[in-house]
Structures are given as C-alpha cells and as structure tokens.
C-alpha cells in the first residue's frame, strides 16, 4: 500500500508568508529611503559621543545636537572652501588639455602595431562617447538633484535620530519581545559604539590617505594632484576596491607625462596602501570593527551588487551590525549547550 503524506498549511502560515513578501516588496520600492535612514543611523552613531559629552556638561539636549551639527557643517565648509577653488582650477586645466591627451593617445596607438586601430576608428569612438555624454547631461543633472535630496534627507534623519536616540533605545524592545529589555538596550548600545568607532576611524583614514597622496603627487609633480588626492581620500570608504580604483586615473595622467613617472605613481600608491594596511587599519579600524578580510569582501560583494556604490560604502557597518547580533545569538547557543 502506498503511504500518502499530508501537509497541512494553516491560514496563519499563509498570511505570514504573504505578509513577508509584501514587506520585502515595499522595502525594495522604498530602498532609497531605507538606505538614507541607515546612513543617518551610522552618522548618528559617530556624532553621539560629542552630544553625550555636551549633555553631561549641562547643555540642553537640543542645543547639544545643534552645536554638534554646526561644528560638523563648519568643518565640512572649511574643507570645501580650501579644496573646491583649486579643484575647479585643476579640472578646468584638465578639460583645456584634453585635446592634447587625445592627440597623444591617437599618435601612440597609430605608431603601435595594434590591428584594427586607426585614427579614424579612435576619432569615431571618441566622438560617439562625447555625443553620448552630452545627451546624458539631463540625466546627470537629475542624478545631482537626487544626490542633493538624499543629502538633505540624511541630514534631517540624523538630526532627529540624535534628538530621539534615548527614546528609541527605550522602545526598541518592542521589536524583540522575547528578549529581556536590558539585553536589547545593551545590544543597541554595542552596535552604536561599533558604528561610531567606524565613522570616526573612516574619517581619519580618508584624511590621512588623501593628504599623503596629495603630498606624494605634488613631490612627483604629477598634474591635477589635488583632484586625484580627493578621489583617493573619498574612495577610501570602500575597503580594498576603493584604493585600486583611485590609482587608475593617477597612473593614466602620470603616464601621459612620462612612463617613468607612471611607475613612480604606482610605487607611491602602493606605499600609501602599505602604510594604511600595516599601520593605520590595525591601529584604527580593526579594533573598532574587527571584521575578517573574508567577511569584508563578502559584504562588499553583496552591498555593491544590490545597492551599487552606496551599498559598497555601507557594507562594512552593515556587516558589523550583523556580527554583533550573531555574536549575541552565539552566546545564547553556547549557554544552551552548557545547560
């Protein structure tokens, strides 16, 4: 006789699955807002210690947040005013010299014996790329506007998260009704501390790498040293991949000046990378985050594949949160095994 297996599915299970799928669909549709909120939470963790110090010193909570914001905006404005004018000047110089670089590329490719590479082919490719770039200017303008809106959203979210931080911590246990309230609060505090340390460490890394790159490129007399250094500093937020991407334009520009200079630039970027990996990261980031390289690469791959550049930049703090939660869960498992 054949045995038949009956699988009973309750209405509650069906509704749970449907509800989960609906929530995932909604989350995907509003992923931009969720990313902005997550970035704001990370920034809030970085600003929180200063707000706490001011509050403990007797300053009103709202005033403490405002003072922190004014300090952050002041430092950002100082950085922008010191960097943007020479940056614009060097970018203008690059655009002015662009025909020289194109001619150099055409002449060198013509003199080489690469099959199928002719002046006409190169000109056609460059013309089509320029036409495409011009036709995409409207899209670029929309993207710039979108970035501006996202920046404002992150700033507003961060402000209110700083104001309501204590209240949010107190009500966080509602999301985890099966866990003790004290444990949930402790978990939130650990996550906040780890993210805050990551933010402050990342700022230090970006400044040191950007400054070291600028000094090195200036000594080597590489053109457009400031924009290249700014790129190196900004891309430092993406571990492993960022420094490699930042080196590419520097090597190309140096190669146009001199092949030997390009080799020197490669050596410079390798030196900065060694300084970062062997001194800065162990001293600053590993103590703060404590993620293994394999976990970092895995997080970067997932974050970059799903959310692009922003996902790659936020992959490490997201992985740090999962690590804290997993370690807390692991403590539970070990306790159950012991008992």
Quickly state the pLDDT bin for 212 (edges 50, 70, 90).
Answer: very high
- Residue-wise pLDDT for 279-307, tens only, equals 777 677 666 677 777 777 788 888 888 77
Q: How much is the pLDDT for 10?
A: 63
Chain-centre distance of CA 126, in angstroms? Answer: 31
The stretch 253-261 carries a mean pLDDT of 86
pLDDT band at 270 (very low <50, low <70, confident <90, very high): very high
| pLDDT, position 18 | 83
**Close Cβ partners of 320 (under 8 Å, ≥ 6 residues apart):** 191, 194, 195, 198, 289, 290, 291
Q: What angle do CA 190, 194, 199 make, to 5 degrees?
A: 145
CB atoms under 10 Å from CB of 132, counted, come to 9
Considering just the CA atoms, what is the radius of gyration of the chain in Å? 26
163-189 confidence digits (pLDDT tens)? 888 787 777 666 666 767 777 778 888
Quick one: pLDDT at residue 220? 93
Rounded to the nearest 10 degrees, the angle between the axes of helix 315-338 and helix 181-219 is 140
Dig out the tokens for 283 from the structure.
Answer: 């001293």
Tell me the pLDDT tens digit for each residue of 112-156. Answer: 555 555 556 666 666 665 556 555 555 555 566 666 777 888 888
Helix and strand tally (H, E) in the chain?
Answer: 14, 0
Top-confidence range, 105-114, 116-125, 256-265: 256-265
Residues 6+ apart with CB under 8 A from 271: 216
Residue with the bigger pLDDT between 14 and 139: it is 14
Specify the pLDDT at position 105.
66
State the alpha helices, DSSP H only, in 136-288: 137-163, 165-171, 181-219, 225-234, 241-257, 259-275, 286-288
Give the closest residue to 209 by CA, choosing from 286, 279, 295, 287. 279
Local structure of 291: helix, strand or coil: coil
């Amino acid at each position: 006789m054949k045995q038949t297996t009956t699988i009973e599915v309750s209405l509650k299970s069906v509704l749970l699955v449907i509800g989960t799928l609906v929530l995932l669909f909604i989350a995907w549709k509003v992923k931009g807002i969720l990313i902005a909120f997550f970035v704001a939470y990370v920034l809030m963790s970085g600003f929180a210690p200063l707000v706490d110090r001011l509050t403990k010193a007797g300053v009103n909570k709202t005033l403490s947040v405002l003072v922190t914001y004014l300090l952050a905006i002041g430092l950002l404005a100082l950085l922008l005013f010191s960097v943007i004018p020479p940056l614009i000047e060097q970018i203008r110089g690059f655009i002015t010299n662009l025909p020289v670089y194109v001619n150099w590329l055409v002449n060198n490719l013509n003199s080489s014996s690469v099959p199928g590479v002719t002046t006409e082919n190169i000109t056609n490719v460059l013309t089509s790329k320029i036409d495409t770039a011009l036709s995409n200017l409207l899209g670029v303008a929309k993207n710039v506007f979108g970035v501006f809106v996202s920046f404002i959203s992150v700033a507003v979210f961060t402000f209110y998260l700083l104001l309501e931080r204590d209240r949010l911590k107190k009500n966080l246990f509602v999301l985890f009704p099966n866990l003790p309230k004290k444990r949930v609060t402790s978990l939130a505090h650990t996550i906040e501390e780890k993210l805050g340390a990551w933010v402050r460490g990342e700022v230090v890394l970006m400044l040191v790498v950007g400054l070291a790159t600028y000094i090195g490129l200036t000594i080597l007399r590489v053109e457009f040293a400031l924009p290249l250094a700014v790129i190196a500093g900004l891309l430092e937020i993406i571990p492993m991949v960022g420094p490699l991407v930042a080196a590419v334009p520097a090597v190309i520009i140096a190669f146009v000046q001199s092949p030997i200079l390009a080799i020197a630039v490669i050596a410079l970027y390798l030196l900065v990378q060694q300084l970062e990996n062997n001194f800065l990261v162990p001293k600053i980031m590993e103590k703060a985050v404590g993620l293994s390289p394999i976990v970092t690469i895995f997080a970067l791959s997932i974050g970059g594949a799903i959310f692009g550049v922003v996902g790659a930049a936020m992959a490490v703090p997201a992985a740090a949160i999962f690590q804290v939660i997993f370690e807390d869960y692991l403590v539970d498992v070990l306790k159950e095994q012991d008992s």
